Amino acid sequence: MKQIIILLLIANFQLQAQRILSERQRAEVVDSILEDRFNNLLPKLMDDTGFDMWILISREYNEDPVLKTMLPATWLNARRRTILVFYRNKEKNTIEKLAVARYNFGKNIVSAWNKEKEPNQWKRLIQIIEERNPDSIGLNYSDFFNICDGLVKTDYEAFMSYLPKQYESKVKSAEQLAIGWIETRTDTEMVIYNQLVDITHDIIAEAFSENVITAGITTTTDVEWWMRDKVTALGLETWFHPTVDVQRTAEELGNHLYAFSNRPEDMVILPGDLLHCDFGITYLRLNTDCQELAYVLKPNETKPPKYLVDALKDGNRVQDIFTNNFETGKTGNQVLKQSLEQGKSETLRPAIYTHPLGTYGHSSGTTLGMWDSQGGVPVTGDYPLHENTVYAIELNTTVTIPAWKRDIRIMLEEAGFWGKDGFRYVNGRQTKLLTIPRVKEHQGN
């Protein structure tokens, strides 16, 4: 019955892309997804990575990033010291979910600590370990994957000081398990994800329209703050401040940092400008990340110039080359190398800097280039592609525009899903430039 209710909520969500669920409805969806992930996804991840026990330790306001994704919908933070223990008995095909804490961890994880019986929280944790005698104990520490490095020094030292000697050799980094938990999306999450990206696209389309932009008056900074206000008005959040930048005939092409940190603020948007934005929202514990382009029509223009239309086609071609090289088991560095070589063989000038996307904007998983590491990324770029994962397909291609006597950069970013049936965009991609204002066909302008 609960699953039916959740599906009905999602169906209602689909009918009205910007109809945002109430907080109570969101909580129902979040807790239902967590229940599914704990009971159906986690056992498989533990089997695949060889762990029969996973221990996560956090304190209030200093949460392990992985534990934070497990918080019940009504918990905004951990409480006191929160310790979670997951024990997988593969022979019995069971998964135990225990909280060594004073409270049940929502409805999905029950409290396994009676302070009146055992006042010492660490000793109770050791009792749980000894009762189950695991073969392999995973802790969240990692040299290279920041989200998987959530166990703080003091908690690690305290845990190891209580752990009996015979278990010390069983303690290992849970890096692979933590990455799997963070990067893997369920079927229900992917239904929701489509709507998140749709909302993102709708906000960009409105921002890049005459509803927001008056050429000669509105500035890039005005549009950025409009996007922030729009998200807030919908009851959502952005996970980074939006950026809007301009490329035009009178300016030279800046470096890759231009669109993100070196661009001038409060640039007045003018007819003939090529606008670019970088924008993402957070909703139902998932994140979007999107870059799109718009052209500001000059008087008597009814469409963008052909050279900009063709430039966007070059950007789409780089996307196609890149995503056609996706293959389960390939590393990010392999996909990057193949894609750059193929793009250059077609006389394109691509740069690829794609990252995992999901419960975090810059998430854990396969790294496929960085703007300043086009030769590959050590360690994180050597991590292989797994199925049921989402990526921000972020890249650009440099295009020479003779009419402007300069190069421009076509910067694009869209959420893409890699699964058993191959690659697909979560909610489509931009293949036509937005125009400001929209063309009014009945008036011929």
Q: Are 393 and 359 in contact (CB under 8 A)?
A: no
- The strand pair at 406-419 and 389-401 is best described as antiparallel
Structure-token pair, residue 210: 């005459």
Return d(Cα 143, Cα 318) in angstroms, integer.
Answer: 32
Structure-token pair, residue 200: 């993102």
Residues in the chain: 445
Q: Are 359 and 287 in contact (CB under 8 A)?
A: yes
Q: How far is CA 254 from CA 107, 181, 261, in A?
A: 52, 38, 11
- The strand pair at 389-401 and 350-352 is best described as antiparallel
| Nearest by Cα to 185 from 419, 13, 422, 425 | 419
Half-sphere exposure of 50 (CA within 13 A, CB side): 8
Write down the residue that tokens 């104990």 correspond to: 137
Write down the residue that tokens 């231009």 correspond to: 258
Structure-token pair, residue 435: 């125009």
Q: How far is CA 286 from CA 21, 283, 397, in A?
A: 14, 6, 28
Half-sphere exposure of 42 (CA within 13 A, CB side): 24
Return d(Cα 424, Cα 420) in angstroms, integer.
Answer: 11
Structure-token pair, residue 261: 């940190």
Structure-token pair, residue 369: 């280039």
Q: What's the pTM?
A: 0.91
DSSP 49-95: HT-SEEEEEEETTB--HHHHTTS-TT-SS--SEEEEEEEEETTTTEE
Per-residue pLDDT tens listing for the chain (445 residues): 455 555 555 555 444 455 799 999 999 999 999 999 999 999 999 999 999 999 999 988 888 999 999 998 887 767 788 999 999 998 899 999 998 988 887 888 888 888 888 889 999 999 999 999 999 999 999 999 999 999 999 999 999 999 999 999 999 999 999 999 999 999 999 999 999 999 999 999 999 999 999 999 999 999 999 999 999 999 999 999 999 999 998 776 665 555 555 667 789 999 999 999 999 999 999 999 999 999 999 998 999 999 999 999 999 999 999 999 999 999 999 999 999 999 999 999 999 999 999 999 999 999 999 999 999 999 999 999 999 999 999 999 999 999 999 999 999 999 999 999 999 999 999 999 999 998 877 655 5
Q: Does an H or E element contain 356, and which?
A: strand 355-356
